[in-house]
Each structure stands twice: as structure tokens, then as C-alpha cells.
Amino acid sequence: MTRRTRKTPDINALINTLDLTEARRVLHTLATDHPDLQGHIAQAITTRPPTPDVVAGRIVERICTLGFDQLNARAGRSGYGYTSPDEAAWELLEEAVEADVQRIGELLRVGRVDAARHHAAGILQAMDMLDAECSDNPVLASAPDFPNETVYAVQRAWKAGGGDADALVTEP
């Protein structure tokens, strides 16, 4: 009789299926269950921040995929009153970048200034890319000031996190 062996799943494929909460849980479990890995985990976290291009790409993709369906689902009458299409657009767009803007302060508070700078640069780069990448996006068209307001939100998050104002360049 032939003995069957279980194929080990591709670890990269498994990792790519994790959302942020699941990834954090896995890292906490690894760090707790295998204290000998803590140094490797800490080094990987502190030496490999996402590049601004990666951050920008994720944000642009999130925003460009917003469309009439999401806008119509959010706008109109509800049990809480009426939400105009413009207001709904702002809500959708703010939700698309909110976690990234908050991440700047989180990184600064734990002393990861370079990672925070990369993250901020990625958000700013995304705001610059929106005109070219999402020119026909109905949600973005309903909130034309969103990119500029997001730049100000990045500046506020940087200052609130204790970042040096001179270390954050918001204009080319």
C-alpha cells in the first residue's frame, strides 16, 4: 500500500490570505510560543517598512475601486436622516485612508520614524496619483478637495505623533 503524505501548504500563499488583524494575531502567537524568534520578528518589523510605492498603490486601488454602488448605498434617506451624495463620498474616501493616516502616529509613538515617514510619503504619493489613476471615479469627483484635505490630515497625524515638522516633506 502506498503511503500518502500531506502536502505542506505554500507559506507565502497562506500569509497573503491574512488580513491585518489575523497577521497581528499570528505574530503575537509566534512571539509568545517561540521566544527565540522574538529578535528575528523585531528585526523584520523595524528594518522592512513598506515602501511609499506599496502604500500609495494600496490606497489608490482602494479609492479607484469605489463607485456608484458604494455611493448610492451610503447616500439618501436612512433611519438617521438624509446623507447627501457629496457627504457620502467624503465618508467613503475618509474610510479608505483613515487607517493609513492613523498608522503614521502609531509608528511615531513606538519610535519608528523612518517607517512613519515612508507611510506618510506613500499617502502623499497616492494623493498625487489620484487624478491620473482615478480620473473618472464618481466618488472622487464628488469630493474634489479630498486629496488636499488628506495632505493636511497627514501633517496633523505627523505632529500629533510627535514627529519633527521639518522631517516631513509634503511638497515636491
CA-to-CA separations, 128 to 21, 114, 115, in angstroms, rounded = 29, 21, 20
Q: Which residue has the cell 500518502?
A: 4
pLDDT band with cut points at 50, 70 and 90 for residue 172: very low
Residue-wise pLDDT for 104-141, tens only, equals 998 888 888 888 999 999 999 999 999 899 889 999 99
The reported pLDDT for the residue numbered 61 is 94
The answer, yes or no, to whether residue 2 has pLDDT greater than 80, is no
d(CA 13, CA 5): 20
Look over the chain and give the mean of its residue pLDDT values, rounded to a whole number.
86
Domain coordinates in residue numbering, the chain: 10-48, 50-167
Contact residues for 30 (Cβ-Cβ < 8 A; gap 6+): 37, 41
Rg (CA), the chain: 20
CA-to-CA separations, 72 to 43, 60, 88, 96, 169, in angstroms, rounded = 45, 21, 8, 17, 37
